[in-house]
């Protein structure tokens, strides 16, 4: 039997779920430690710290809402622009074959953090779902977060909205 270690997942597994604080409503002084790549007026982009694939990004509105109608027109428009630019950067840096952009509204739809709306952007390659995922419910992410952050940060610093 082989073992694959992913010690960073323990923080997620044992976190205190009873706290009312929102993991996406962070103080800007914490951004770099939280893998934030870009901040706009109404939203920010960060790495998903529990990614499905390397380069998995989150576009997060600064407005704390769990519904799309909780966003202003300006916020929604900015989020779509930031999402589009994020896709362009992932294509450039990772040379991926495709990109999934997703939004889960509510727990039944798959939202892991349902109290604060957030968009997932996931680079995809043909054949990237390996036998590990299919046979053993195990996901292999081929890059550590620090490397992903370092690869992407330069392109995100060039964004002008």
In a domain, 27, yes or no: no
Tens of pLDDT, residue by residue over 17-46, are 666 678 888 655 555 557 999 999 999 999
pLDDT at 45: 96
CATH of the domain at 109: 3.30.428.10
Model confidence at 7, pLDDT cuts 50, 70, 90, reads: confident
In a domain, 4, yes or no: no
* pLDDT score of 102 more than 90: yes
**Residue position matching structure tokens 């007026």:** 41
In a domain, 5, yes or no: no
Tens of pLDDT, residue by residue over 105-159, are 999 998 888 999 999 999 998 877 654 554 556 666 778 888 999 999 999 999 9
In a domain, 3, yes or no: no
Tens of pLDDT, residue by residue over 62-93, are 999 999 999 999 999 999 999 999 999 999 99
In a domain, 23, yes or no: no
Global pTM value: 0.79
In a domain, 61, yes or no: yes
Q: How far apart are CA 45 and CA 60, in angstroms?
A: 6
In a domain, 19, yes or no: no
Q: How many CB atoms lie within 10 A of CB 31?
A: 15
Torsion of CA 90, 110, 135, 1, to 10 degrees: 90
Q: How many CB atoms lie within 10 A of CB 142?
A: 12
Q: How many CB atoms lie within 10 A of CB 78?
A: 20
Residue 103: give the domain boundaries.
Answer: 32-157
In a domain, 9, yes or no: no
Q: How far apart are CA 152 and CA 63, in angstroms?
A: 25
Number of domains forming the structure of the chain:
1
């Amino acid at each position: 039997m082989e073992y694959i270690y992913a010690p960073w997942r323990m923080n997620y597994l044992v976190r205190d779920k009873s706290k009312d604080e929102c993991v996406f409503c962070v103080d800007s002084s914490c951004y770099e430690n939280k893998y934030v790549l870009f901040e706009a007026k109404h939203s920010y982009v960060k790495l998903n710290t529990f990614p499905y694939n390397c380069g998995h990004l989150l576009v997060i509105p600064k407005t704390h809402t769990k519904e799309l109608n909780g966003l202003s027109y300006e916020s929604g428009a900015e989020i779509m622009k930031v999402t589009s630019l994020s896709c362009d950067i992932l294509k450039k840096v990772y040379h991926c074959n495709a990109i999934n952009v997703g939004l889960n509204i509510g727990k039944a739809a798959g939202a892991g953090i349902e109290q604060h709306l957030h968009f997932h952007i996931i680079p995809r390659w043909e054949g990237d779902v390996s036998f590990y995922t299919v046979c053993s419910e195990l996901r292999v992410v081929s890059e550590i977060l620090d490397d992903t952050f370092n690869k992407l940060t330069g392109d995100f610093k060039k964004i002008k909205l």
